[in-house]
Amino acid sequence: MRVVVTLGDVLRRSAEFLAERGCETARLDAERLIGHALGLERIELYMHLDRPLTEPEVAAARELVARRGRREPVQHLLGEWGFRRLTLRVDGRALIPRPETEVVVERCLALLHADQEPRVLDVGTGTGAIALAIADEHPAARVTAIDSSADAIALAGENVGRTGLPVELLLHDLFTGLPAGPWDLVVSNPPYVVPGELDGLAPEVREWEPHAALAANGHTEAVITGAAAVLRPGGALVLEVHGEGAAAVAELLREGGFTDVVVTADLAGRERVVEGRRPADMP
Ligand SMILES: C[S@@+](CC[C@H](N)C(=O)[O-])C[C@H]1O[C@@H](n2cnc3c(N)ncnc32)[C@H](O)[C@@H]1O
């Protein structure tokens, strides 16, 4: 006799399985992955809980849930993820854009508010998230984005194609100095995980995201020095920082001659964004 498996059964068992595997958002993950496998929105799942699934549907759902059980990020399994108004392609070639980085974009847009056609440089662009969001939300901005990872630049290029937004991409190592400006704004979410911290990160990050996007090796300091050389007088630098690092980075900016240094908290109240301005009289 053929056993009937309903959508509700699969959702419940998948959520239990993922919880046993240590996934913190097991139920939500199960809903997203099974919805993806069946081509249904999450809300639609609840309208069809009694629907029997076909064998191919069960197999497709099982494959995604099994991969999630090995702690592959949900975002990689879905292949795309939302960042501000955009839906970007995401995979193991670059960091998955995070909610706190949306606050970085918020600060950039606030600082660019009065500029007519600002020139913006995004340092370490990954998927292109920051650069593309600025180009999307400040259409007059002329945005360039650099990364030293050819994989990241390729993925960002796919996101440029997908969104149709005009962002110039360059394969460029920030330790050789930043591309010549003058830039009205330099923004960066540099690698800032300190040595020894990597082992304590969640498996989704430690095992599936590029270590070159995570491990700090003087990146923040190099961006500050580089930005001071290529910003126009009065231009702004915006940096995402480690959850414990805002005060230290703010001090680095002041020591580097930057003025108007401001620290902004993310939506969880953690100080994650530091900004400053290059004064007119900076040597
Ligand atoms: C934390 S990720 C940020 C990605 C993206 N901007 C975001 O916010 O989602 C840091 C990025 O910096 C890049 N990167 C690391 N070292 C670099 C270097 N020396 N020069 C340029 N980019 C670098 C990594 O490849 C990675 O894409």
> What is the predicted pLDDT for the residue at 280?
80
Q: For a pocket test of ligand 1, which of 120, 148, 178, 186 has the largest count of ligand atoms closer than 8 A to its C-beta?
A: 148
Can you give the pLDDT at residue 113? Answer: 84
pLDDT recorded at residue 1: 59
DSSP, collapsed to helix, strand or coil, labels residue 168 as: strand
Asked whether residue 114 is assigned to any structural domain, the reply reads yes
Within-domain flag for 78: no
Q: Do 62 and 108 fall within a single domain?
A: no
Q: Do the Cβ atoms of 77 and 36 come closer than 8 Å?
A: yes
Q: Are residues 66 and 108 in the same domain?
A: no
Counting the structural domains of the chain, the total is: 2
Question: What are the respective helix, strand and coil percentages of the chain, to the nearest 5?
Answer: 45, 20, 35
CATH assignment at residue 205: 3.40.50.150
pLDDT of residue 114: 79
The predicted structure's pLDDT at residue 195:
80
Q: Is 129 in the pocket of ligand 1 (CB under 6 A)?
A: yes
Q: Is the link from the previous residue into 182 a cis peptide, with omega within 30 of 0?
A: yes
At 166 the pLDDT is: 96
Distance CA 123, CA 172 (A): 9
pLDDT computed for residue 283 by the predictor = 66
Q: With a 6 A CB cut-off, is 159 part of the ligand 1 pocket?
A: no
Q: Is residue 31 part of a domain?
A: yes
Distances (CA, A) of 219 to 23, 32, 190, 280: 31, 35, 6, 25
Q: Is the distance from the beta carbon of residue 101 to the nearest atom of ligand 1 less than 6 Å?
A: yes
- Mark whether 55 and 90 lie in a shared domain: no
Output the CA 174–ligand 1 centroid distance in Å.
9
Are residues 25 and 56 both part of a single domain? Answer: yes
Amino acid at 154: A
Range of the domain at 266: 84-277
- Of 70, 94, 113, the last residue of a domain is 70
Find the radius of gyration of the CA atoms of the chain: 21
pLDDT in 10s for each residue of the chain, 283 residues: 567 899 999 999 999 999 999 999 999 999 999 999 999 998 999 999 999 999 999 999 999 999 999 999 999 999 999 999 999 999 999 999 999 999 999 999 999 987 789 999 999 999 999 999 999 999 999 999 999 999 999 999 999 999 999 999 999 999 999 999 899 999 999 999 988 899 999 999 999 999 999 999 999 999 999 999 999 999 999 999 998 899 999 999 999 999 999 999 998 999 999 999 998 877 6
The residues facing 276 across adjacent strands are 237
What is the per-residue pLDDT for 131?
A: 98
**CATH number of 32's domain:** 1.10.8
Q: Tell me how far the alpha carbon of residue 7 lies from the centroid of ligand 1, in angstroms.
A: 40
| 136 and 45, same domain (yes or no) | no
Residues paired with 169 in a beta bridge: 145
At 44 the pLDDT is 93
